Amino acid sequence: MRNAGKLVRGLHWLPRIAASCRRGMRPRYTDHADGYNAFEFVTLAAPAVSTVRVKAKALGVTFNDLLLAIILKALSRDLPEPSRAGRRREVAVASIVNLRSESGYTAHDAFGQFLSSMRISHPLPDGITVEALARDIHRETTRFKRRKLYLQTLLTVQINGVVWWFLNTGQRQRLYAKAYPVLRGCVVGILDHEWRGAGVFACRSHRSARPARRRGNELGERAGARLVVSPLGAHGGKSGYNREPCRGLRVLATMKKIPSRLMSLLLALALALAGCATPSGTAEQAAVARPPAAHLSTIDRALEERILTLDPEHVSADDVRTLAQGPAPRIILLHGGIYPVHLLMVSFGRFLTGMGYPEAQIRDPGNRDWSYSPYESSDELAGMAAWQYEHDGMRPMMIGHSQGGMQAVKVLRELAGQMSDKISVWNPVTHSAEPRTTIVDPLTGKERPVVGTSIAYASAVGAGGAAFLLPNQWNMIGRLRLIPDSVDDFTAFLIGLDMVAWTLPGAETNSYRANGTATVRNVELPAWYNHIAVPVTDHLPRDGQTRDWINAYVPGNNADPSELPGDAMLHVLWAADVWYSVKKHWCLEAQRLIRAKRR
């Protein structure tokens, strides 16, 4: 019970951990049933350990962070391009965490393993240096340790233990490679003077020709590697293994043939001269896709003129085709919190593309997901909104469903400075924070803080109610329906009888209102609308009659959907109203960008 509070407060990180695992590349084994393990010892003499420590201190990271960065960098060189495509684009490594001190025991008080693991995942963009990679890893490990997320890892083990009973032998042998994908692992052990020198020892795990007992070991079962480094000399195990799956660490595999002092010197030189060389810009700067408003350089003046003549309040299907030839702001979709409701926002994302919106401006630029979880950090989403504005020259839009609607309001509060006075820029390409809290405004060229950046349009449907019982939403109690001035237009959709969001027809307490300059609309959807199924709209654009009805929709015109085919009337009022606002602000942001370019 010593860490019960931390465990409960960290529950909202579980979906994020799961999402990271879904983005991770899986290890590939030729035979999942062999049950063998082998490892290889690699040693660093004391001078090399000192060099690594000095370099880590200069970078402002830990010794372990730098080792993890070296492993990831080694892996990135030999990963085939096809394996970097698709959803699983990130490479993960893991490190064992000793929990004995968390349990209140010393080594003399109790015998046994007190272990968890810390999994670090990174997309490894081209050109990233070890220096920048180590800093990215340090930000993740710092957050992991500060919030004690290794306690959540233990909880996932218990969840997998329940799943275990429902799997056959073959499925059990593949479970951890699928559910907890890690390509390499790292164990860092510091040897004191009694071991004749200070250092660390490292090993790499492989499938061996020698049987090993199956244990519930965090990394033995789940990962393809362990790293251990020692000042005592290099030792190579006699067991045979397949080097091909681990070719990213081929250099480490040859180290056992090199005398210890020479190996230490080589590593020291590599760290001092190559891997940690200071680049002309940081990795975060290298990840910048394009300078502000660069998209307009490819747009002819005739198209600009056509866009400027459009009426944002009445954007037709033809006007959408005109807008689609130019730039478009990013749309950030936020799904609900119960698995698998993220699929509902996938449906809505496809509705938007079916109506003519560019898919690239909806999906995550790093992992290609359609939407974001309400359990993700709201300050990261706020930092990402600022990053998108800086890179697109157009303020993004946010659309949230259920808990995702609550998250949208939370992000607006972040941008308004109501939750923190400083927010780091979040790079969605690398999925990491950049070491700055300001952006360069793409329209003025002036530096400005992330706090104070605004969203063009945001909406929430089915927000509140039962979600307030969840710890991650407690800070929204009494604040959900107060919309700050960090958004131009906000639309709150309330279902007439929603037993999830706890809304009743005509209740004044349901209404949202502005506490600043934002324009806020409250739209009550019919009581027969289903809280869960509202976003299931991808089928609507495929019917010509429904598509025309949606394009002609204007808020307040009392359009009747009852004559539409199929189940359109159960979804179309919400979809049409959101699409109207999306078209409007797409047009406004494009015009704003063009006018700024011409000044």
Domain with CATH 3.40.50 in the chain: 289-596
Chain segment 496-513, per-residue pLDDT in tens: 877 787 777 766 677 899
Which pLDDT score, from 0 to 100, does residue 209 have? Answer: 37
Q: Tell me if the domain spanning 4-275 has CATH number 3.30.70.100.
A: no
Give CA–CA dist 583/578, Å, rounded.
9
Distance between CA 102 and CA 425 in Å, rounded?
33
CA-only gyration radius of the chain, Å: 27
Cβ contacts of 298-305, under 8 Å, gap ≥ 24: 299/325, 299/326, 299/327, 304/594
User: Can you tell me the distance from the alpha carbon of 417 to that of 421, in angstroms, rounded to the nearest whole number?
Assistant: 5
Residues pairing with 200 in the sheet: 190
pLDDT at 433: 87
Tell me which fold the domain 289-596 belongs to.
Rossmann fold (3.40.50)
Q: Which residue in 272, 266, 264 sits closest to 43, CA to CA?
A: 264
Beta strands 331-334 and 519-525, pairing class = unpaired
Burial code (b: 16+ CB inside 10 Å, e: under 16) for 362-400 equals: bbbbbbebbbbbbbbbbbbbbbbbbbbbbbbbbbbbbbb
pLDDT given for residue 250 in this prediction:
36
Residue closest to 378 by CA, chosen among 441, 330, 449, 450 = 450
Determine the pLDDT at residue 40. 54
**Ranges in the chain, pLDDT < 70:** 1-13, 29-46, 78-87, 100-114, 158, 160-161, 164-165, 184-298, 506-508
Which pLDDT does position 236 carry in this prediction?
Answer: 30
Domain with CATH 3.30.559.30 in the chain: 4-275
Model pLDDT for residues 206-232, shown as the tens digit of each residue: 333 333 333 333 333 333 333 443 222
First vs last Cα of the chain: how many Å apart?
63
